[in-house]
Amino acid sequence: MHSLKDRTAIIGVGATPQGKLPGSTQLSLAVDAFKAALDDSGLEKDDIDGLLTFPGTTAPEGPLNYLRVGEALGIDPAFTGSMAMGGGTAGALVQMAAMAVESGHATAVACVFGDAAKTGGSRFNRASGWGDSWGIWGMMGAAANSAVAASRHMALYGTTSEQLAEVAVACRRHASMNPNAVMRDPITIADHQASRFIVEPLHLLDCCLISDGGVCIIVTSAERAKDAKQPRVLISGMGQAYTTRTLEREDWWYVPHQKEALDRAYAMAGLGPQHIDVAQLYDNFTISVLLWLEHAGFCKPGESGPFVEGGRIQLGGELPVNTAGGNLSESYMEGWLHIVEGVRQLRGQGGERQVQGAETCLVTGRGMTLNCSNAMVLTKGEA
């Protein structure tokens, strides 16, 4: 578990404009993101010998696999592959890249994502369980899964819709300071409450965006990153956890395996929740953030509702969360931008939304029918 601590680093990050981008394709966005990350890293294209991709949610021209991306970039990688785990993919690919670098299978791995879900249609209009097991219960979209989680949390612990609104308001406030965010107009709890229901108890402002865009993250060894163009950001801890059982588990709504992923990341890093300065918590829905806060040990089970009140998760609060706006307000890039923001915070490149003195960042991801989860502890590397 401890052998990979601080052995690898994120050396480059890049993202395209976000939102509705007519004329762009998955592939063009992926290529542009790669170019941005390559420039950020200071590496040359020939330095990249590893390539990992996420096929994306829309693929009218074919999935965004390593063959298409490699061909477009002119890269013949020594290590490659594609993985599809929804919002759990970004973290899993970065962790795979770290393992490839540490094992000697590659020296610099580019993890690449591009999607045109806003302009090209989306898989999210399909039953959330990929088949009849969810659809027969009327769960015809991803919001339904999290609506059940929110309802159950409310019933057990007295969590309120206004507490969910605290998450949406915090993310939007942070997005208002992010010139690249899609949704930048501030909102209030009253605005949240007035927004229409999508699946009760979730309002429109409890739900993530659908966006076009591309993101790339480049991983190399911690030693090589010492001489990089940018301050190095170390991957100090990583963890994954999965379950193949959903509706037959009484506690599936609470996604308890997420805690296992977090515990593994903390154990590798030798750190705990008390050491985390800023967190980028996967927020496909507001209830997701509340569950992550409990699993990560920032509060006890059932206490996340009161925990987020009073600006505690906003900039200037005890634990700034999703400082670029997250999936709820920055852009929905399936968690890729959460890693990018974590890197920028530890580099001190957050601009108006910078968390002063940030040296540790927790990043989480989750996907599919809530069954995939991962976590990373990123730390500021010494020069």
Catalytic sites, residue numbers:
282, 332
CB of 175 closer than 8 Å to CB of 148: no
Q: How far is CA 187 from CA 57, 172, 329, in A?
A: 29, 7, 11
User: Which candidate, 6, 114, 93, places its Cα nearest to that of 50?
Assistant: 93
> Is the bond into 186 cis (omega within 30 degrees of 0)?
no
**In sequence order, which ranges of the chain are alpha helices (DSSP H)?**
26-41, 66-73, 89-103, 117-120, 132-135, 142-157, 161-175, 189-194, 222-225, 257-269, 286-295, 304-307, 326-329, 336-347
Alpha carbon of residue 132 to chain centroid? 28
- Residue 339 makes CB contacts below 8 A (sequence gap 6+) with 10, 13, 90, 91, 94, 217, 280, 363, 376
User: Which candidate, 25, 171, 41, places its Cα nearest to that of 111?
Assistant: 41
Distance CA 123, CA 72 (A): 25
CB of 9 closer than 8 Å to CB of 221: yes
User: Which candidate, 88, 133, 127, 15, places its Cα nearest to that of 288?
Assistant: 88
Instruction: Look up residue 47 and give its amino acid.
Output: D
Q: How far is CA 369 from CA 164, 190, 334, in A?
A: 21, 31, 14
The length of the chain in residues reads 383
